[in-house]
Amino acid sequence: MKILVTGGAGFIASNVVDAYVEAGHEVAVVDNLSTGKKENLNPKAKFYSVDLRDARLAEAVAEFSPEIINHHAAQIDVRKSVADPVFNASVNELGTLNLLETAVKCKVRKIIFSSTGGAIYGEVSKKSGADENHAQEPISPYAITKRAVEMYLYAYWKLYGLNFTCLRYGNVYGPRQDPLGEAGVIAIFCGKMLKGETPTIYGDGKQLRDYVYVGDVARANLIALDKGENRTFNVGTGKGVSVNELFMHLKEIMGFAKEAVYAPPRTGELFRSVLNCKKARQELGWKAGTGIKKGLKLTMKWYRSL
């Protein structure tokens, strides 16, 4: 199968590209390398250095002629989306619309879209976690654009027959996540602890997130090639892990002697964000297979190898 992956030099998408290549598919990557890294590119994948908003995107898609487009390219910095919502929308909405228009013209069969679980649902009080029908309360421009793209995908399916699968990720972590900039707490902690620096925990550290290992996410993208037509799925573990627990696990794995420093909570931060992934189990036959301790060990092993 011919698959084009946007953002394929980034953290999550590069792992997805590797899974596709390993499964024997022909893969091309579109990435402007604004945040993606050349070293993340799979040498067996064709590479197009193109921005989503560029007219040259149509040339790249037409030349490669993919059956499926896996769309990960995005402006992912939540704080940047708040500071510059116009730029955020230009990349995440207008860039995606350029991609969708191109997909229709090039007769692409399906789009697999990387959406967001926690940011779309907002605060989750249900013990079973937020399922796909949970109330959606996006408060950041980043989350709003992700939700908007989901709606565009539905419209393009109805209008043009362009199939889609939306995957709403939990907090993804693992190899290749940059410990700098808008990184997840796990990457930040790993980066600091390897340098012997003391990590900072904002608030009381009891806030819960659904941390899902990137290898499990890549597997969900592999399954979505053939399943989940015109459906939306949560991709997480269904279990909440606190920041305090993360730190204790990493401390044990590394033999780290120092204690974390606590700072005032960040404004607008969610307290509980946990996904219900029953639908993915039932319809895709997918569930997260990597527990938090194993995932952290694999992640730390990768950071130590740098």
Catalytic site residues?
A: 142
202 in Cβ contact with 253 (< 8 Å) = no
Query: Edge-to-edge, what's the strand order for the sheet holding 26-30?
Result: 46-48, 26-30, 2-6, 68-71, 110-116, 163-169, 231-235
Tokens of 29: 């990557």
**Which H or E run includes 211?**
strand 211-213
Q: Is 72 helix (H, G, I), strand (E, B) or coil?
A: coil
Q: Rounded to an integer, what distance in angstroms lies between the CA atom of residue 121 and that of residue 134?
A: 7
Neighbours of 192 (CB within 10 A): 18
Cα separations (Å) of 68 from 90, 163, 168, 221?
Answer: 23, 9, 18, 11
Burial of 287 (0-12, 13-18, 19+ CB in 10 A): middle
Burial of 43 (0-12, 13-18, 19+ CB in 10 A): exposed
Burial of 158 (0-12, 13-18, 19+ CB in 10 A): exposed
